[in-house]
Every structure is written in structure tokens, then in C-alpha cells.
Amino acid sequence: MSRKVTSQDVARAAGVSQSAVSRVFSGASASKNTQAKVRQAAADLGYRPNVLARSLITGQSKIIGLVVAYLDNQFYPDALQRFSNALHDLGYHILIFTAKTRGEGVDDLIGRLLDYQVDGIICASVGVSDELTSRVEAAGIPMLLFNRGQTGSPFAQVTSDNLSGSHKIAEYLVRGGHERFGHVAGWLGSSTGQQRAKGFNQGLEAHGAHLSGQRDGLYSREAAAQAARELVEQERCDALFVSNDHMAFAVLDELRVKVGVKVPEEVSVVGYDDVPMAAWASYDLTTYRQPSNRMVAAAVETMIKLIAGEVPETKEIEIPGALIERSTARWPKE
């Protein structure tokens, strides 16, 4: 429990002023000689600058707040890992908050984030109330929505091409020769959920097909499994678009194991995200890839610009994805 060693201590040991010590550690100018003396003394004493004290003056904490909702959906731990690496490489650190349920409690979390003087906030798959929006704006701290848009929001956002992606899935399923199309939607209260539902529907119509049924899977395994079962048993669907891989796995579990349906012979299932697990042999899920590497890179780049006070060209960034053909959906003939 040794007392913390401060720049004062180092100054004394090196025989220089405290300002001198500060200068060598903050990268300001200092003579070779001073540099050497200070570094030596610092090493001897095990000195490291107190970042909190520095933040107080510079007004930069080098901390980014990250709010994430669904860590059970593999897309998010994966993204978190990427955020962590990218941000650390840039000298930033992550204060993490997990929102228990959608919406609820998020306002409180962000208040706490603000208290810590974070330089920016990234909300992954979490919506923000209007009241909070104005508070964050008033505080003047940059905020970015990741994998979630919000109409009328003043914040930057990065998503994949939800609309055209689901459009392509519809097209793929039509070309696969299916007859009755069902959609297990993401939570329809979320922009992502809505966009994918809309794109799928439009894609179907564009190819002379139409939706036989749609259920809200609420991004939950249970709801999705139930929804899929109804779509197959009641609506006799032979093609299911499930709005994210996380739910698609549950649908596959339900259909193949519980109901005993052959996939894709009797029913085709397509997901969205292409999380690593989608490639695992037991699922081998046909899906639409959301390139999380590029999404995270874009998010980080935008956040850095915002922190620097720059205005990015586009506030709404959309990263194009790609259909990944695997074995849970019948392949088109030609």
C-alpha cells in the first residue's frame, strides 16, 4: 500500500522542477539532458502520470463510453472485441455499460457515462430517448449509434445496408423456387427490425411474390422459435427469413430438432449478420454478412472525427454486406 508516487517526487529525485517532469511525460519540449534525468528518476520510482489529473486539465479523458445491449448475440461480443482493439490502438479506453433491457435504464447509464467525462459515446443496438438526446447534445459530447438508426436523431450512425440486404435475401429465396415466404422479424420497435422487414417485403413484391406471414421475434430465441413454428405450421411457409443469426439458430433448433422439419428440403432458413457461429458445421447457416470489421472501423473513424470537432461527410453510414450461401436454404437452380 505504498503511497502513490507523483510528479513532485520525480522532480525532487531528478533535481528538476515539477513542470519539467510534466513536460517530458506530456510530450512537450525538454532538453535531452532533462529527458534523461527525469526518465531515470521515474523508472527508479515507478512513476506513471495520473491520467485522471491530466484529464481534468486537458478536458479529454480518452475514455469512450460503450453501451451494449445483447451480449448473448455473438455479433456484439465480436464487435466489442474489435472496438476494444481499434480504440486502444488510438489511445482510447472503454467504459462499458450493458443495458439490461431495451430502452429501460439506458438514460440512467448515459448519465453516469457523462459524469465520467467520456470523450464520446457509442450505443450498440440501443435506442435513446428524446430527453436523453437533448441532454447529450447539451453536454456537447459526440454520440454514435451502432447497428441501429433512429429517425430524426441528431447523432451519427453506422449500419449495414439493411434495406437492400433483405431485398437480396427475398430475391434469393424466390429464385430458390419457394412458394410461401415468412419473416421472423427483429424487434419491430427498432429501426433495424423495421428496415429488414421492409426490404424483405419489397424484394418479394419486386419479384412477383408476397409475404405469407410475419411474426415479431423480438430478438429473442424463445419468441423467434415460436414465431417460426407458427409460420411453418399455420402459414405453411417453406422459406423463412429470420432477421438475425441469433434468432435463426433458435429457429433451426426448433424446426429441425423439435418440430422435425428437414432444412432446407422442406423449409429454407436464411439469417442476417453472419456471426462466426453461422459458419460452424452444425448450423452452416445461409445468411447475409454484416461486415462487422468494416462497421467498427467506420464507427471508430467517425467517432474520432467527431471528437476532433470535425463534421463527417455523412452522418448516416451504411456499409454494404453480401449474401453468404451455405446449406440452410435451397440453392437457386441456374
What residues line the site for its own copies (CB under 8 A)? 1-2, 4, 46, 48-53, 55-56, 61, 63, 66, 71-72, 74, 76-78, 80-81, 84-85, 88, 93-98, 100, 111-112, 114-117, 135, 138-140, 249-250, 252-254, 256-258, 276, 280-284
Q: Quote the cell numbers at residue 292.
A: 462487422
Residue 314 near which of DNA, its own copies, none (CB within 5-8 Å, type-dependent): none
Binding site for DNA (CB under 7 A): 4, 6-8, 16-20, 22-23, 25-26, 28-31, 33-34, 47, 49-50, 53-54, 56-58
Q: What minimum distance in Å lies between the beta carbon of 109 and its own copies?
A: 8
Residue 72 near which of its own copies, DNA, none (CB within 5-8 Å, type-dependent): its own copies
Residue 152 near which of its own copies, DNA, none (CB within 5-8 Å, type-dependent): none
Q: Give SS3 for 286.
A: strand
Nearer to its own copies, 233 or 284 (CB): 284
**What are phi and psi for residue 11, nearest 5 degrees?**
-55, -50
Q: What minimum distance in Å lies between the beta carbon of 64 and DNA?
A: 20
Q: Quote the cell numbers at residue 55.
A: 484529464
Nearer to DNA, 28 or 90 (CB): 28
User: How far is 181 from 204, CA to CA, in rounded Å?
Assistant: 8
Contact yes or no for 95/113 (Cβ under 8 A): yes
Residue 8 near which of its own copies, DNA, none (CB within 5-8 Å, type-dependent): DNA
Q: What minimum distance in Å lies between the beta carbon of 118 and its own copies?
A: 10
Residue 96 near which of DNA, its own copies, none (CB within 5-8 Å, type-dependent): its own copies
Residue 311 near which of DNA, its own copies, none (CB within 5-8 Å, type-dependent): none
User: How far is 149 from 125, CA to CA, in rounded Å?
Assistant: 9
User: How far is 216 from 26, CA to CA, in rounded Å?
Assistant: 53
User: How far is 45 from 13, CA to CA, in rounded Å?
Assistant: 9
User: How far is 203 from 321, CA to CA, in rounded Å?
Assistant: 16
User: How far is 201 from 212, CA to CA, in rounded Å?
Assistant: 10
Nearer to DNA, 49 or 312 (CB): 49
Q: Quote the cell numbers at residue 130.
A: 428524446
Place of cell 429473442: 220
Q: What minimum distance in Å lies between the beta carbon of 124 and its own copies?
A: 13
Region at 152 (left for phi over 0; alpha for psi -120 to 50; beta for the rest): left
Q: What minimum distance in Å lies between the beta carbon of 169 and its own copies?
A: 22
Nearer to its own copies, 24 or 209 (CB): 24
Nearer to its own copies, 187 or 283 (CB): 283
Let me know if 103 is exposed, middle or buried by CB neighbors in 10 A (0-12, 13-18, 19+). middle
* Neighbouring C-alpha atoms within 13 Å toward the C-beta of 194: 7
281 vs 250, 286, 326, 328, CA distance in Å?
Answer: 15, 12, 10, 11
Nearer to DNA, 33 or 101 (CB): 33
Residue 30 near which of DNA, its own copies, none (CB within 5-8 Å, type-dependent): DNA
322-324 and 287-289: which strand pairing? antiparallel
Nearer to DNA, 23 or 183 (CB): 23
User: How far is 76 from 73, CA to CA, in rounded Å?
Assistant: 6
Q: What minimum distance in Å lies between the beta carbon of 174 and its own copies?
A: 28
Nearer to its own copies, 256 or 305 (CB): 256
Q: What minimum distance in Å lies between the beta carbon of 280 and its own copies?
A: 5
